[in-house]
Homo-oligomer: A and B are copies of this chain.
């Protein structure tokens, strides 16, 4: 494969103005929609009691030898540590916050940006739920984004792969858009979407991610865990590990935690766990959302078959959770008449409609207090 390199200047003042306009427009919508869920925010403003950042979890490696502080750049000397493999967390606590916090974990190749904004600069789930009174904790998992410091070296590739993700994320079969897709059309929105990707700076294993995410809940207190895509698998394990996870809202998880002996072929959530651990998942309400364009039958498009298998596994998993006394719901949005959603349900054009569905579900489960 030959590669040609083009530098394109990426600054578009009109786009900046459009974002501002969209934000102003969405503010007036907020006034209406937030009235239903919270009394703390009638103005459309965000009123924070505090915000901040911290690291959670992580490991430390040490080199043998003695450190000479007079020659700190001497490459031969050891006696040093490296702190890495933690999560990086940005949190915001509104005034009159609800008891339950929300903790947000991104998917593969993504960072907390997944939850903060959208390709066209509208509000993401974190702002929407912050405005309705939840404390929000936005995670970059170990070896991703601002949690970049790891304890294992890694080679980062820079192969062009935007079109692979466009297709895998069900925006369309590139260069086509799926018919009726809830993704803003225009080169500048795709540009913004592609730039949300960010690579692994170390290959953190699932245990490392679970430990870090569990440490976030030690700091956030009782909370609702939101996961996206590849964040789903460590999400289930975090709920098993830490009682402070009071519910899970999973957006298109790719893999599931089954009890040992009941793991179906092709599940991407790893091998099963002992039944007593699995049963922890039956003690909390769980809702799982999948979007549109997932075919009922096998097709000639590899990405669509992938999601067809995942959705089938999800339904199988929910049956097992519920057979063990649990409370898991799989929502396949087109089946309830909500069409056009990609893999990024939380930032699609109808993300406010989806947020309202989730708010309703949280209220039904008594979690919105």
Contacts and interface: CB of A to CB of B under 8 A. Distances in A.
Contacts of A86: 10, 195
A64 B2 contact: yes
B11 A214 contact: yes
A57 B51 CA distance: 28
Given A80-B163, A90-B116, A163-B80, A3 B54 contact: no
A160 interface: yes
A195 B149 contact: yes
A67 to B, nearest CB: 5
A357 interface: no
Nearest to A162: B81
Given A5-B62, A47-B48, 11 more contacts: A2-B78, A3-B63, A4-B61, A7-B59, A19-B54, A52-B123, A58-B195, A62-B160, A67-B163, A82-B158, A113-B146
Interface string A1-36: 111111111110100100100010001000000000
A22 to B, nearest CB: 10
B201 A1 contact: no
A148 interface: yes
Interface string A192-203: 101111110110
Contacts of A80: 159-164
Contacts of A81: 160, 162-163, 194
Contact of A65 (B1, B55, B59, B79): B1
B52 A23 contact: yes
A10 B63 contact: no
A316 to B, nearest CB: 24
Contacts of A6: 59-62
Interface string A110-139: 011100110001010001000000000000
Interface string A210-233: 010011001100000000000000
Contact of A198 (B146, B151, B162): B146
B73 A146 contact: no
Contacts of A174: 67, 69, 72
